[in-house]
Amino acid sequence: MTGKDPFFHVSIWRGKDEGNFVSYDVPRRESQTVLDVVTYIQRELDPSLSYRYACRVGMCGSCAMTVNGVARWTCRTHVAKVQKDGELEIAPLSNFPVIKDLVTDMREFFDKWARAMGRFHGGSTRADAFARVDPASRERRAADAGVECIGCGVCYASCDVVSWRPEFLGPAALNRAWTLVNDVRDVQRDARVQATAGDRGCHACHTQGSCTQRCPKSIAPTASIAGLKRLALCSNSLGR
């Protein structure tokens, strides 16, 4: 436990695009997470506060918020590690429309996964044997590096290019596409490379690396996007 005051101040965004921060006093607890704080306020101080979570163990990706100016998953973020001068400011994720308070609209985020062809398309039927993919193969290792994405939106909220160019597919959708172009069972590799190239795709990335720095699952979308750029270059030079 840090500090002697048994309570600390928390400011939380209330409203939609228009709104304001409201302050609450929250009791300190040992190993308290930011999600614990929001849950305490909603259950004990103001039941009208809207927020989103499900698993509370870092699996579902639904609890991401902006904490003291940085996008984070809140169920695995300890208050003691992110407090500034004993204060906590919690806001909805940047780059997402706000529905209410801390709840954002994720539709465009996931629509971009569809535009990046983020769905697996296999060529086998039920009559075929299971595909055998060597875990040590280059393709499998490349897919493994990005496949644990939980769709939390932290990378998307941290990306300046998404802020500047709202049509940019964003790091999560492009990382998803990268895992699929490395899936040797998928039959739409070339179409996916084309769908993720160009000004709204991988070529818009400025390689600032905020997505990689902030990803709570330690995925490197910057590397995935660089891989897509290389593939797009090869496919263009081959005239495909």
Rule CB under 6 A: which of 93-132 touch ligand FES?
Answer: none
For the chain, where are the alpha helices, taking DSSP H only? 34-40, 79-82, 107-115, 138-146, 154-157, 160-164, 171-181, 189-195, 210-214, 221-237
For ligand FES, which residue of 12, 26, 38, 63 counts as binding (CB under 6 A)?
Answer: 63
For ligand FES, which residue of 29, 45, 46, 54 counts as binding (CB under 6 A)?
Answer: 54
* Distance between CA atoms of residues 82 and 65, nearest Å: 13
* Distance between CA atoms of residues 78 and 2, nearest Å: 12
- Of 53 and 96, the one with the shorter C-beta distance to ligand FES is 53
60 near ligand FES, rule: CB under 6 A: yes
* Distance between CA atoms of residues 131 and 133, nearest Å: 6
For ligand FES, which residue of 8, 24, 73, 113 counts as binding (CB under 6 A)?
Answer: 73
Stretch that binds ligand FES, among 52-60, 102-110, 114-122, 134-142 (CB under 6 A): 52-60
Q: How many residues in the chain? A: 240
* Distance between CA atoms of residues 223 and 183, nearest Å: 17
Least distance to ligand FES, CB of residue 164, Å: 28
Tokens of 71: 């996008």
* Distance between CA atoms of residues 114 and 117, nearest Å: 5
**Any idea what DSSP says for residue 41?**
I
Least distance to ligand FES, CB of residue 211, Å: 17
Stretch that binds ligand FES, among 57-65, 101-109, 125-133, 220-228 (CB under 6 A): 57-65
75 near ligand FES, rule: CB under 6 A: yes
For ligand FES, which residue of 49, 61, 146, 229 counts as binding (CB under 6 A)?
Answer: 61
Stretch that binds ligand FES, among 13-21, 55-63, 112-120, 225-233 (CB under 6 A): 55-63
For 62, residues 6+ apart whose C-beta sits below 8 A from its C-beta are 52, 53, 54, 55, 152
19 near ligand FES, rule: CB under 6 A: no
For ligand FES, which residue of 45, 59, 233, 234 counts as binding (CB under 6 A)?
Answer: 59
Binding footprint of ligand FES on the chain (CB under 6 A): 53-56, 58-63, 73, 75
